[in-house]
Every structure is written in structure tokens, then in C-alpha cells.
Amino acid sequence: MAKAGFDTVLVAPDAPADRRSTALIGRSVAFLSDLGIFEALGSKAEPLAVMRLIDDTRRLLRAPTVEFRASEIGLSAFGYNVLNSDLLAALKAQAANAPQLERRDTAARSYRIEGERAVVELADGGSLAVDLVVAADGRRSPMREAAGIGLRKWSYPQSAIVLNFGHRIEHRSISTEFHTRSGPFTQVPLPGRHSSLVWVEEPKLAELYTELAPDKLSRMIEDRMQSILGAVTVEEPIQRFPLSGASVDRFTGDRLALVGEAAHVFPPIGAQGLNLGLRDCEDIVRLACESRDDPGARVTLLRYDASRRSDVRSRTIGVDLLNRSLLADFLPSQMARSVGLGAMRALPLLRQFAMREGLSPGAGLTGIPRSLRERIGRHET
């Protein structure tokens, strides 16, 4: 917002250390590049050139292995995997030099409407009167609650184990997702011979595995990965948390726009969470720029709500169906999943459509925008 020319106040306490990683896909890379953030990451971002799906459910009907190659749609990569700590450092460096940006190291507790402005109450006792509140205050968002926006929440009978690990064999910028009966087991490459892991498992087993000695857990992960990366060395910290999701009734209130987990919560499946949050940011900045005289005007926020609704809902349904299809023992569900992935493998046009749509909503039919190709990198033939 500040770089777009708005007088901006960032109300946020300092973020805690975070050794998890995020796969920045498609439009997220272009958006961060335009802000000068992605270039600051340099060699700390690892390209994702191939995404491989392996059916390891060991059920009667198993889907064939499918590989999605960025080169097939003329790109050098689908995106890049980066440690959250490195991304946060790059964001902080840009924020420190951004014009028209003031930082308040506190939290926002509530807000109310006074006349034509929103008044935000701060935890340090202060307040701010503004034209627009962009609430990126997380899944327990006080701003969302103050606006009276409803939230639908759900949970899954699964937990996620998240960690980073070293390995003996080069990953060659390939991400491999094993589909198991308990959920996805996904390796995502990091720079060097390192990768991140998101392991979805039954809660009791997840608790047991996280309490194993590091050498035993390393051997178990190598076995689960069928030794495709050789010997594995687990790195701490090892995190575990229950899987859940949430979605709001609407994305806006009076002079308020919700972004990120204030608006939608995703399980760590399919690299959707932060990428959707960045698309939220991209859209609210774009629409505010089209309404500079009053960026918090009702018509602007109605346009934002309409812009985000279809994107978020379609991704919510897709992630939910993928996860539940792995848990289902219902034979028709297994057949539908097997046929779908089989079609992806056998039909290049269908596979290419899915890859383009995954990079940028709407690109499946219209093609990848030129700006996106330039920022991610063209494949050299």
C-alpha cells in the first residue's frame, strides 16, 4: 500500500522465528518481484521445476504416477520454495525503506466506524482514524470479530508434521508428493541438498513419530520416500499441529478488507494458504489504486469481495476433495481419483490446462500472462 502511494500504518508486533518453508507459486512470485522482495531472496529461493505425484495408498485401485513439468508450458519453474524466516527478513528490509510507511509495534484490538472513517483501537492504548483497514491479523482476527463477519470452521481427522531435512542425493528441483491412506506426504526442495516436508498423518501416530529419536525418524522418512533422496537427516525444530480449515461469509466489512488467514484457513496441502493470501493483497492494492480518493469506499470493497470469492472457494473445494479422497475407502471415490490422475498423465492438453490454472486463476483457458512468464523465467529449449 505504501509503495502504491498511500499513507500507510503497519500495526503488527514483531513476528516470531519460523523455520517452516513456503512454496511461492505463479502470481505470488510476480507480485513479490514487483515489490522488489523476490529478488532480495536470491539463492535462498529454490526453483520448483517438477511436481511429481505418487500413489502410495496401496489400495485396489491405484492412480498412475504423474509428473507436472514447468518446461511443458514454457517455464523454467512453477515457483520457488523459501524458508519463512528468509522471506520475512526480505519483507522487513523492504518495509524499512518504504516511503509513506509508519510501523507500530503493537496489536490492533478492535475497530469502529465514526462518520466516514474507521477508528482502530490499539493494544498500547492509542487509536488510528483511517479510510481503509486491511486486516491480516490471522485466523482469530479481532478485526473480523469487530465487523461481525461470520466464520465457518471445520477440522480433519489428521495432524501435520512439518520439518526440514538434509539428504544425500540431489533433489534436482523436483517436489514429490506421496498420496497415502492418511494424507499427503510431501517433499519440497530447498537450496542445496535440503528439503522441507509436510507429512499428514493420523493424530496419534503423528504424536508418536514426533517423539522419536532424530535418527529413527530420519530412517522412517527415508523409507516413506522410498529412498529417492538417499539417506535423510532430520533437522530441528519438528512441529506438529491438527489440520483444520475455515472460510468467511464475506471478505469485507465497513471500510474493512480481510486478507490471509483472517479470511481463509487452509491445511498445508497444495501450497494454497500463503499464495491465496498474497493474491488477496494484490487485489486489494489494485482496487484501492483504482479508487484513490476513497480506497475504503463501499463499491471498492464490494468489488474486492467479488474478486476473491470465486478464487478462494474453488481452491477450498479442491483441497478438501483431494484430502478427503485419500481418506475414503469408498471404491467409486478411489476410481474417480485414479481415472482423474490417469487422464492427467495420458492427455497433455489436460495436464497443461491444470498447470496453467494452478499458476494463475483463469490462465488455464487464456494462457499464462506475459508478465508472469517474464518474472518466473522462460524455459530455455
Question: Is 48 a domain residue?
Answer: yes
pLDDT tens-digit profile of 354-365? Answer: 888 878 777 777
Residue 323 has pLDDT above 70, yes or no: no
pLDDT at 380 exceeding the cut of 60: no
Rounded to whole angstroms, the Cα distance separating 313 from 264 reads 9
Please give the pLDDT value at position 334.
Answer: 59
Tell me which residue range forms the domain holding 58: 8-153+245-376
Measured CA to CA, the distance from residue 246 to residue 139 in angstroms comes to 8
Taking the C-alpha atoms of residue 359 and residue 363, their distance in angstroms, rounded to an integer, is 7
Q: Is 352 helix (H, G, I), strand (E, B) or coil?
A: helix
Question: Looking at residue 327, what is its pLDDT?
Answer: 59
pLDDT tier at 381 (50, 70, 90 boundaries)?
A: very low
pLDDT category at 99 given cuts 50, 70, 90 is: confident
157-196, pLDDT tens digit by residue? 899 999 999 999 999 999 999 988 888 899 999 999 999 9
* pLDDT for 320 beyond 80: no
Residue 337: which CATH number? 3.50.50.60
pLDDT of residue 138: 93
294 touches 301 (CB < 8 A): no
Displacement of CA 183 from its chain's centroid (Å): 18
Q: Is 309 in contact with 299 (CB distance < 8 Å)?
A: no
d(CA 194, CA 165): 6
Q: Please tell me which of 81-95, 323-337, 350-364 the model is most confident about, judged by mean pLDDT.
A: 81-95
- Residue 115 domain-assigned? yes
Q: Mean of the per-residue pLDDT values for the chain?
A: 89
* Position 117 in a domain: yes
Residue 191 is assigned to a structural domain of this protein: no
User: Dihedral (C-alpha) 314, 316, 321, 322: value to the nearest 10 degrees?
Assistant: 100
Residues 207-242: tens digit of each pLDDT: 999 999 999 999 999 999 999 999 999 998 999 999
Q: Which of 30-44, 50-64, 205-219, 302-316 has the lowest mean pLDDT?
A: 50-64
Give domain status of residue 211, yes or no: no
The mean pLDDT of 287-312, rounded to a whole number, is: 94
- Which amino acid, residue 31? F
Cell of 358: 494452478
Whether the pLDDT of residue 348 is over 60: the answer is: yes
Q: Are 251 and 263 in contact (CB under 8 A)?
A: yes
Instruction: Say if 181 falls within a structural domain.
Output: no
Residue 226: inside a domain: no
Q: Which of 189-203, 261-275, 332-346 has the highest mean pLDDT?
A: 189-203
Burial readout 265-286 (b: 16 or more C-beta within 10 A, e: otherwise): bbbbbbbbbbbbbbbbbbbbbe
pLDDT given at position 335 = 61
Nearest-angstrom CA–CA distance, 73 and 355: 8
Question: Closest by alpha carbon to 213, among 188, 198, 234, 242?
Answer: 234
Residue 169 lies in a domain: no
pLDDT at 156: 86
Check residue 273 and give its pLDDT: 81
Number of domains in the chain: 1
Angle of helix 273-289 versus helix 27-34 axis, rounded to 10:
50
HSE-up of 228 (CA within 13 Å, CB side)?
A: 17
Element (DSSP H or E) covering residue 156:
strand 151-167
The angle at the Cα of 360, spanning 364 to 251, to the nearest 5 degrees, equals 120
Three-point CA angle 222, 212, 271, nearest 5°? 55
